[in-house]
């Protein structure tokens, strides 16, 4: 993919997004033991933009806040701070129905077993957004749209009469994609869409998603912990650690020249088919508890390059060589 | 090979009795595992890899049953043992590590209590001796400050540390074989590497054999010595991991390897195997992979190919010689 000569206005602009969860002990416990209220900063000042027709991936380990960002962008969760705008309109207004853009944002979830109503036939599942948003004039038109969508995702129109349990995991994820496409969206938020699937099925779904992107000009916000899937799918990547973005870059740059020590270690930790039997040094330590994050740079306890400054001063995301990085020592270790 | 295998599985058949008749879940599975060896078992969901592990640990329960073949461990047949003797094999000779470390541990007992109980059951150690052994095991699996962690409950450990505790529990009976069913699937990549390194290290130091069941080819490539590829209840290819990964001889293995995205490969489309693996009730006559196979010939649909009888890298495909070059 090449960057267009004149940059199109960004479809999604996320600015200093914050999301905190109240994880305090119950009031009665607090009164009895004097325990303090506790807040968990799941997302702590995340900013990014997505241009139309592009795919931005958020990667990171569990608990880094990537899914929370996705849910905020899809309007499923209200941010605690910061702003999210879609085509310049705040997401809150879109969710409240004050804007015609609501149908343009859709989401695909990780678990194709939990995200489809088991009591509804597939036809009804896919027709639901069409009916809810009044996108078809008649029942016959709705049925025709459902049939077209099923064909578009590689199923047959006859499958509309079946129930979700009659399908395999991969086929169910195709149904979830068809449902997401039903409202003619421009942006699809994909939260680990293939991590519950076998690799051969994963290839089918990833290919389908790329084909549909080309066909309908879709923009994806893609959430994944799998770096090789991210490399295959995205135009830009943002790496998250403990609620913050630590590095952003064009995909090819990120994988050929990672700048943040966390990105480097993550890349090294990926098992690869090219390294049969290779004994690699595994990354030390684990992700710290987000309720009680380390001082300074959150990655410093695991970072092989950590210096005194890293323990005291939190690095801001700053531009470097075409991307951005939040590391005091990025130039030195490059 | 001069060494005798620790585990020898011959022509294992497992069936399920259902309302709709007899379903064959495992159909003639044969393999062996040497002492200290890590055998990877890979395949899609429903291919029979977990069922093979379940059969080895003697945990097959109705409606499933072992309908044929035999399983030997350290020379002794274990598939037809009565339940009281099977109890002595399970945990002591063959231990299991499951995917989810949270459900494998009892949430209401401390780690120390669970370890001491398991150690007592298998080794007869009690009191301070069992405590000492528990500390040794926790230290061996890389838990920092093991003495102070004995009084901790499972929820006080992180996911990676919990999986280490599960491995320590599996080691308590000093087993000869560990059946590890997706031991890293629930963990983050950075933790996966740590657990794989630990398993490899334990195999090398203690001579424990591991049957590593996973759908993640990357984990197999990193951890296993040999790999068996399963499809629709049968082993379709088995051999040294480098050979199977880089020179697959079965078209299914080749398709599987091709469909895995690799960093830096940057393909517009991933090569994909169309269709899906047949359910046990719909396995076609002939080769089960024939409906999806790119190099299928009419004979494939009539007669089911057997695994090559000898060699260290064997495939069950009549055209296996052409797979590498195709």
Contacts 24+ apart (CB under 8 A), B13-18: B13/B66, B13/B67, B13/B68, B13/B69, B14/B48, B14/B51, B14/B55, B14/B60, B14/B64, B14/B65, B14/B66, B14/B67, B15/B64, B15/B65, B15/B67, B16/B63, B16/B64, B16/B65, B16/B280, B17/B62, B17/B63, B17/B65, B18/B63
Distance from CA of B197 to the nearest CA of A (A): 7
Partners of residue B196 in chain A, C-beta under 8 Å: 271, 282
Task: Look at B189 and A276 and tell me if their CB atoms are within 8 Å.
Answer: no
Residue among B159, B191, B263 minimizing CB distance to A270: B263
Superfamily the domain B7-93+175-323 falls into: P-loop containing nucleotide triphosphate hydrolases (3.40.50.300)
B276 touches chain A (CB under 8 A): yes
| Whether the Cβ atoms of residue B94 and residue B174 lie closer than 8 Å to each other | no
- Given a cut of 70, is residue A265 above it in pLDDT? yes
In chain A the domains, ranked by start, together with CATH numbers, are: 12-271+280-333 (3.40.50.300)
Task: Look at A204 and B272 and tell me if their CB atoms are within 8 Å.
Answer: yes
Task: Look at A206 and B189 and tell me if their CB atoms are within 8 Å.
Answer: no
State the ipTM, two decimals: 0.83
Give the residue carrying structure tokens 């080794």. B123
- pLDDT category, A258, cuts 50, 70, 90? very high
Mean pLDDT, range A163-188, rounded to an integer: 94
Counting one residue from chain A and one from chain B, the pairs whose CB atoms sit within 8 A come to 135
Q: What DSSP designation does A158 have?
A: G
Question: How many angstroms separate the CA atoms of B114 and B105, rounded?
Answer: 8
B253-283 tens-digit pLDDT = 999 988 988 888 778 889 999 888 898 888 9
How many H helices and E strands in chain B?
12, 11
For residue B132, give the H/E element and its range: helix B127-140
A89-122 tens-digit pLDDT = 999 999 998 888 989 999 999 888 889 999 999 9
Q: What is the CA radius of gyration of chain B?
A: 21
How many H helices and E strands in chain A?
12, 12
Secondary structure E strands in B110-207? 177-181
Helices B189-206 and A261-269 meet at what angle, rounded to 10?
50
Choice between A5 and B100, residue whose per-residue pLDDT is larger: B100
B207-247 tens-digit pLDDT = 999 999 998 888 899 899 999 999 999 999 999 999 999 99
Mean pLDDT, range A54-79, rounded to an integer: 93
Going A165 to A166 to A167 to A172, the CA torsion angle's sign is negative
Task: Look at A232 and B256 and tell me if their CB atoms are within 8 Å.
Answer: no
Give, in degrees to the nearest 5, the angle at Cα A176 between A170 and A182.
Answer: 140
Which residues in A have their CB inside 8 Å of a CB on B?
A: 61-62, 168-171, 198-204, 206-207, 210, 225, 227-229, 231-232, 252, 255-256, 265-267, 269-280, 282-283, 286-287
For residue A10, the model assigns a pLDDT of: 93
Contacts 24+ apart (CB under 8 A), B118-126: B118/B91, B118/B169, B118/B172, B118/B173, B119/B172, B121/B91, B121/B173, B122/B91, B122/B92, B122/B172, B122/B173, B122/B174, B123/B172, B123/B173, B123/B174
B69-126 tens-digit pLDDT = 999 999 999 998 998 888 888 888 999 998 888 788 999 999 999 999 999 989 899 8
pTM for this model (two decimals): 0.88
Question: How many angstroms separate the CA atoms of A117 and A169, rounded?
Answer: 14
Task: Look at A278 and B242 and tell me if their CB atoms are within 8 Å.
Answer: no
Q: Which of A271, A272, A290 to mutate to test the interface with B (most CBs of B within 10 A)?
A: A271
A269-317 tens-digit pLDDT = 887 777 776 666 777 777 888 888 899 999 999 999 999 999 999 999 9
Domain ranges of chain B: 7-93+175-323
Question: How many angstroms separate the CA atoms of B23 and B283, rounded?
Answer: 10
Between positions 118 and 177 of B, the ones with CB within 8 A of A are: 158-161
B44 touches chain A (CB under 8 A): yes
Question: How many angstroms separate the CA atoms of A106 and A115, rounded?
Answer: 13
Task: Look at A198 and B44 and tell me if their CB atoms are within 8 Å.
Answer: yes
Task: Look at A228 and B189 and tell me if their CB atoms are within 8 Å.
Answer: no
B241-254 tens-digit pLDDT = 999 999 999 999 99
For residue B323, the model assigns a pLDDT of: 82
Task: Look at A227 and B189 and tell me if their CB atoms are within 8 Å.
Answer: yes
Distance from CA of B167 to the nearest CA of A (A): 18
For residue B298, the model assigns a pLDDT of: 94
């Amino acid at each position: 993919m090449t960057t267009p000569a004149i940059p199109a206005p960004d479809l999604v602009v996320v600015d200093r997004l914050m999301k905190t969860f109240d994880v305090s002990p119950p009031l009665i416990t607090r009164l009895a033991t004097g325990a303090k209220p506790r807040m968990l900063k799941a997302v702590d000042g995340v900013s990014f933009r997505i241009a139309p027709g592009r795919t931005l991936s958020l990667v990171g380990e569990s608990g880094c806040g990537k899914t929370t960002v996705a849910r905020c962008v899809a309007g499923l969760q209200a941010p605690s701070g910061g702003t999210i705008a879609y085509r310049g309109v705040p997401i809150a207004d879109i969710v409240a129905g004050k804007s015609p853009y609501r149908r343009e944002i859709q989401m695909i979830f990780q678990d194709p077993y939990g995200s489809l109503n088991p009591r509804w036939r597939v036809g009804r599942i896919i027709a639901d957004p069409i009916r809810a948003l009044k996108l078809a004039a008649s029942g016959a038109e709705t049925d025709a749209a459902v049939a077209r969508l099923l064909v578009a995702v590689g199923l047959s129109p006859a499958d509309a009469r079946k129930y979700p349990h009659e399908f395999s995991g991969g086929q169910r994820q195709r149904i979830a994609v068809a449902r997401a496409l039903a409202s003619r969206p421009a942006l699809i938020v994909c939260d680990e869409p293939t991590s519950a699937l076998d690799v051969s099925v994963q290839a089918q779904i990833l290919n389908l998603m790329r084909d549909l992107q080309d066909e309908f000009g879709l923009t994806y916000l893609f959430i994944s912990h799998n770096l090789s899937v991210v490399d295959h799918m995205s135009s830009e990547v943002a790496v998250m650690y403990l609620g913050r973005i630590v590095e952003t870059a064009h995909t090819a740059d990120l994988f050929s020249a990672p700048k943040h020590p966390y990105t480097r270690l993550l890349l090294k930790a990926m098992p690869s088919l090219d390294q049969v039997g290779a004994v690699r040094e595994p990354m030390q330590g684990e992700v710290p508890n987000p309720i009680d994050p380390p001082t300074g740079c959150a990655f410093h306890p695991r970072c092989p390059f950590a210096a005194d400054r890293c323990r005291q001063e939190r690095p801001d995301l700053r531009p470097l060589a075409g991307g951005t990085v939040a590391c005091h020592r990025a130039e030195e270790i490059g | 090979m001069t060494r005798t295998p620790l585990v020898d599985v011959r022509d294992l058949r497992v069936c399920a009795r259902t309302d709709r008749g007899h379903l064959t879940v495992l159909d003639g599975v044969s393999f062996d595992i040497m002492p200290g060896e890590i055998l990877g078992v890979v395949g899609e969901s429903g291919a029979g890899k977990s069922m093979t592990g379940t059969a080895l640990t003697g945990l097959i329960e109705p409606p499933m049953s072992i309908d044929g073949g035999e399983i030997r461990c350290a020379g002794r047949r274990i598939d037809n043992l009565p339940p009281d003797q099977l109890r002595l094999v399970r945990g002591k000779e063959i231990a299991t590590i499951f995917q989810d470390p949270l459900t494998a541990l009892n949430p209401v007992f401390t780690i120390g209590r669970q370890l001491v109980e398991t150690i007592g059951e298998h080794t007869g150690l009690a009191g301070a001796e069992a405590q000492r052994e528990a500390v040794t095991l926790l230290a061996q699996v890389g838990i920092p400050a093991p003495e102070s962690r004995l009084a901790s409950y499972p929820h006080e450990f992180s996911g990676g540390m919990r999986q280490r505790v599960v491995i320590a529990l599996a080691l308590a009976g000093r087993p000869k074989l560990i059946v590890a069913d997706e031991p890293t699937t629930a963990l983050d990549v950075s933790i996966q590497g740590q657990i794989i390194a630990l398993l490899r290290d334990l195999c090398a130091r203690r001579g424990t054999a591991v049957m590593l069941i996973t759908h993640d080819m990357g984990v197999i490539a990193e951890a296993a010595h040999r790999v068996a590829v399963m499809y629709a209840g049968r082993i379709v290819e088995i051999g040294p991991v480098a050979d199977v990964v880089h020179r697959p001889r079965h078209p299914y293995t080749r398709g599987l390897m091709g469909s895995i995205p690799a960093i830096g490969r940057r393909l517009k489309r991933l090569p994909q195997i169309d269709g899906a693996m047949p359910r046990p009730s719909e396995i076609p006559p002939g080769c089960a992979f024939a409906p999806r196979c790119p190099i299928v010939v009419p004979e494939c649909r009539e007669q089911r190919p057997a695994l090559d009888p000898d060699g260290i890298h064997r495939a069950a495909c009549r055209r296996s010689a052409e797979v590498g070059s195709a």
